[in-house]
């Protein structure tokens, strides 16, 4: 009889199609799929509330997908993943563990601990690279250093061979006797909160939802370069949470885009490369999750105004484009990328509140909260990271709204108090008199805030 092998799902690989660890495990023996909820391993960046909402439902969907091919998903709580795996090895007699590599520093530490513990038991541990287009650590400059600027990284990535074709679901040998499993409710992932109804309306977690979203996006991918900055249209893929949880692999996304749009897919593939860039940066510079890559920003005189932070979080700044984005985030767990940049810029440059506070808020409220790209995005806007926007580039939240939401359709959707206004009036409501309107005045003067931010930046320049 073939030996049992554990397929260890880790929350970023929740699929059966194009699953390299599953395919490798299936060639080795009878497959035992496992998901371990080990809070002690997650460190300070345990999944936020929106991500837990998604994970709960994605695991349910994965169990159904595995059931369709004759497998069961075993769920277990454990203090540490290594404890849970050792217990399952004893119960099942498995001779090997297969899993996908991750880029987060805490995850790398867990992988090292598991590798050592399994080696002591004489059990094989196989780490498979599949969460990025290029293997972590493989992208280097001519000097042998990690890339810190996106354009040369992208050029180097595009010089590599095209990603391999996605793998089909392999033929599998199931276990003859299955270990006991906890229920999904016993994992305690799902946040019981009224705001999750908006998430449920906006999203379909799971592999089927991911593949359907990719197919739908392919129908208008050719217009991506013209529409991607417009939050008032459906011009983006909205695939980010599916990629974050691995319900869709990056090479499935790559080839799906190529099939749908050919050379016209290039602008979107460039965004997929930005995702890779974030993971390679985090792998090379793990300290950047809470410290600036550009060390001089450690001395920046950030404001500690907690009241201003709360106003920003609630979407009550008095700047409609920013407020619309923050309210979309709270209601759907997602925000259009252009609006993310404007909302983030407003926090760190108009309010001069440190980017770590913004990163934490996004981490808790985004369904696509991904440590690598959340860190990359916030440090980029703050001017303190790799390939960072110059600090003197301060987005004007009013003119940005007028440019990318010209009819104010996006603003009026998410800020009901402004639904009677159109165009420029909706982006500058303080110029219009509306009886009974309940919308706050701008909390800062943008021009004055810009001058103050640039003066603070001048203080820390060498």
| pLDDT tens digit sequence for 29-69 | 999 999 999 999 988 999 999 999 999 999 999 999 999 99
DSSP string covering 155-196, please? Answer: HHHHHSPPPPPPPPPPP-EEPSSPPP---TGGGT-S---TTH
For residue 211, pLDDT beyond 80? yes
Domain boundaries, the chain: 4-131, 133-163+207-284, 295-457
Rounded CA Rg of the chain: 23
Residue 387: per-residue pLDDT: 78
For residue 423, pLDDT beyond 90? no
Residue 251 · residue 166 · CB < 8 Å: yes
Instruction: State mean pLDDT over 369-373.
Output: 96
For residue 392, pLDDT beyond 90? no
The CATH architecture one would assign to domain 295-457 is Orthogonal Bundle (1.10)
Residue 395: per-residue pLDDT: 95
Query: H helices within 315-416, ranges in order?
Result: 320-332, 337-345, 355-365, 371-382, 397-404, 409-414
Find out if CATH 1.25.40.80 is the number for domain 133-163+207-284.
yes
Helix (H, G, I), strand (E, B) or coil at 98: strand
CATH of domain 4-131: 3.40.50.620
Instruction: State mean pLDDT over 433-441.
Output: 77
Residue 408 · residue 439 · CB < 8 Å: no
Residue 436: per-residue pLDDT: 62
The Cα–Cα gap between 389 and 409 comes to: 28
**CA nearest neighbour of 207 among 57, 336, 334:** 57
DSSP 236: S
pLDDT bucket at 192, cuts 50 / 70 / 90? confident
In order of 63, 252, 364, 365, the CA distances from 205 in angstroms are 13, 17, 17, 16
pLDDT bucket at 194, cuts 50 / 70 / 90? confident
The Cα–Cα gap between 379 and 232 comes to: 26
Is the pTM for the entire model greater than 0.75? yes
Residue 184 · residue 59 · CB < 8 Å: yes
Q: Torsion over CA of 26, 32, 35 and 39, rounded to 10 degrees? A: -120
Sign of the Cα torsion 16, 17, 18, 24 reads positive
Tokens 């450690």 belong to residue = 298
């Amino acid at each position: 009889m073939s030996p049992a092998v554990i397929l260890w799902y880790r929350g970023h690989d929740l699929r059966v199609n194009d699953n390299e660890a599953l395919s490798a495990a299936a060639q080795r023996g009878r497959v035992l799929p496992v998901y371990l909820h080990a809070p002690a391993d997650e460190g300070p960046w345990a999944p936020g509330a929106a991500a837990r909402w998604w994970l709960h439902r994605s695991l349910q969907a994965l169990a159904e997908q595995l059931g369709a091919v004759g497998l069961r998903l075993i769920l277990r709580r454990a203090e540490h993943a290594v404890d849970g795996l050792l217990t399952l090895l004893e119960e099942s007699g498995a001779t090997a563990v297969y899993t996908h590599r991750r880029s987060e520093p805490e995850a790398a530490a867990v992988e090292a601990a598991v590798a050592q513990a399994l080696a002591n038991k004489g059990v094989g541990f196989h780490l498979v690279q599949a969460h990025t287009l290029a293997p972590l650590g493989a992208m280097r400059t001519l000097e042998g250093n990690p890339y810190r600027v996106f354009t040369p990284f992208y050029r180097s990535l595009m010089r590599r061979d095209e990603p391999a074709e996605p793998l089909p679901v392999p033929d599998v040998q199931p276990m003859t006797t299955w270990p006991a499993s906890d229920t999904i409710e016993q994992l305690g992932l799902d946040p019981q909160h009224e705001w999750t109804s908006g998430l449920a309306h906006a999203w379909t977690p799971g592999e089927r939802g991911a593949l359907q979203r990719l197919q739908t996006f392919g129908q208008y991918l050719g217009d991506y370069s013209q529409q991607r900055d417009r939050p008032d249209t459906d011009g983006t893929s909205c695939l980010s949470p599916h990629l974050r949880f691995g319900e869709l692999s990056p090479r499935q996304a790559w080839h799906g885009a190529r099939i749908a749009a050919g050379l016209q897919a290039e602008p979107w593939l460039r965004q997929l490369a930005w995702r890779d860039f974030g993971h390679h940066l985090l792998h090379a510079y793990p300290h950047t999750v809470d410290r600036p890559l550009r060390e001089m920003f450690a001395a920046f005189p950030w404001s500690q105004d907690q009241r201003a932070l709360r106003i920003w979080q609630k979407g009550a700044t008095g700047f409609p484009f920013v407020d619309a984005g923050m309210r979309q985030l709270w209601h759907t767990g997602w925000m259009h990328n252009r609006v993310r940049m404007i909302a983030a810029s407003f926090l760190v440059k108009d309010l001069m509140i440190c980017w770590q506070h913004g990163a934490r808020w996004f981490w808790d409220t985004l369904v696509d909260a991904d440590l690598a790209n959340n860190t990359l995005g916030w440090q980029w806007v703050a001017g303190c990271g790799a390939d960072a926007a110059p600090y003197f580039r301060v987005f004007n939240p009013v003119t940005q709204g007028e440019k990318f939401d010209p009819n104010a359709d996006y603003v009026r959707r998410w800020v009901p108090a402004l639904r009677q206004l159109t165009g420029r009036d909706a982006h500058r409501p303080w110029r219009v008199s509306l009886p009974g309107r309940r919308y706050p005045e701008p909390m800062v003067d943008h021009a004055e805030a810009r001058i103050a931010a640039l003066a603070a930046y001048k203080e820390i320049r060498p």
